[in-house]
Each structure stands twice: as structure tokens, then as C-alpha cells.
Structure 1
Amino acid sequence: MIELTQAKNGVIVPVNAQPGARRNAIVGERAGAIRVAVTAAPDKGKANAAILELLAEALECRPSEIGLVSGETARQKRVLLVGLTVDEAARRIARALPASEPSSPAAGSS
């Protein structure tokens, strides 16, 4: 289950990044994080930009409503979805996950 955390100005979503992949896609869930694959290399922020762009499109957010909170050089990242509640973020993530993915997003605590 994806562990979402309510923040003052939105929801924090844990992301497991896979740069240098064959295609850009949300590939599922792993260890409480949404798994995102991007073709961009982890070079000078290119992969991070591609991840944020993919998530914005998949989660129906404007680019200005999504940002990297932590994990700039790590595979494990935390992304802020501005203006969303945990419930709304969970619904959007559930729609974006591959159909074969058995897990559904759930609210975390913090």
C-alpha cells in the first residue's frame, strides 16, 4: 500500500524511481511507494524532471502543483502534490496504477 502523508499544503507521495528505463510509465507499487520508470538518465536533474512531468500528467496535476521534496540524487524520493487531500491523492494514484496492480493507495500517518 502506498503510504501517503498529509502535509500543510498538500500530500507527500513516496516514489521509487527507475531512471534509464525503456519507457516512461508508472509501473506499480513497491515498499509503500509508487514505482515510476523514466527513459531519462539520472544526469543533471533530467530524470527528476521526467518523473515530475510523468506524475503530473498521470495524476492530473498542473506542473506547478507538484514538486520534489527530497531524494534529488536517490532512487527513493518524496513528491509533494499541492492542494490535494490524502483521499483525493489516493483516488488519483489508484487510477494511474497499472490495472494488474493488486494494491491500492492508503493513507499513512505522520
Structure 2
Amino acid sequence: MVRLKEKDGGVVFFVKAQPRSSRSAIIGEYDGKIKISLKAAPVDDAANVECCRFLAKSLGVASSRVRILSGHSSRIKRLTIDGMGAAEAATLFGEHLESVEFDL
């Protein structure tokens, strides 16, 4: 079950990133985190930039609204989407993750 928490006018959640994949995709749930594959390598912040841009594009929000709060040099990242509630985030992620439950 993926936990989505509303904080400071946005929704906060954890991502498990898998860099150097053949394509960028939202894969599923891993230990309470959203698992995504990223085509970019974890060099010179490329994977972090792609992580934010890819999630923004997939969820249909501006890339400036998606930020990494912690985990810049880790595969486990804490992200926020500004101006979004937990219920809305669960709905948008649910379009990509059919069998994943969300804890709001």
C-alpha cells in the first residue's frame, strides 16, 4: 500500500527509482513506495530531473510542481507535488497502477 500524505499545500510520497532502464515507466508498488524506471543514468542529476519531468508528464501536471524533497543521491526519493491533494494524486496514480492501494 502506497502512502500519500498531504503536507504544506501538496502531496508527499516516496518513489523507488530504477535508473538506466530501457524506458521510463511507472512500474508498480515496492515496499510502500511507487516504483518507477528511468531511462537516464544517475549522473549529473540527470535521473532526478527525468524523475520529476516524467512523473509530471504522466500525471498531467506542470513539471515545476513536482520536486524532490530528499534522496537526491539515493534510489529512494521523497517527492512532493505542489497544489495537489492526496485523493487527487491517488486517482492520477491509479490510472497507471491498477492493482495498487493508497493510504490517504
Aligned ranges for residues 66-85 of structure 1 at < 5 Å? 66-85=66-85
Post-superposition shift, 1:105? Answer: 2.1
Distance 1:106 1:58 in 2: 21
The structure 1 segments of at least 4 consecutive aligned residues displaced by more than 3 Å after TM superposition are none
TM-score (norm 1): 0.90
What secondary structure sits across from 2:14 in the alignment? strand
Task: Give the structure-2-normalised TM-score.
Answer: 0.95
SS in 1 for 2:78: strand
In structure 2, C-alpha distance between the alignment counterparts of 1:105 and 1:55, rounded to whole Å: 17
Within 5 Å, give how 1:1-80 maps onto structure 2.
1-80=1-80
* Matched positions, count: 104
1:103 aligns with 2:103: no
One-letter amino acid of the counterpart of residue 14, structure 2:
P
Shift of 1:5: 1.2
Query: Cα deviation per residue 1:22-58 (whole Å; 9 max; x = unaligned)?
Result: 1110011111111010110000100011111110011
Structure 2, unpaired ranges of 5+: none
* CA RMSD of superposed structures (Å): 1.0
Question: Offset of 1:106 from its aligned partner?
Answer: 2.2
Q: 1 CA distance for matches of 2:92 and 2:2? A: 12
Find the aligned partners of 1:63 and 1:51 in 2 and give their Cα distance.
10
Q: CA deviation at 1:79?
A: 0.8
Distance 2:46 2:6 in 1: 27
Once the two structures are aligned, what percentage of the paired residues are identical?
Answer: 33
1:91 paired residue number: 91
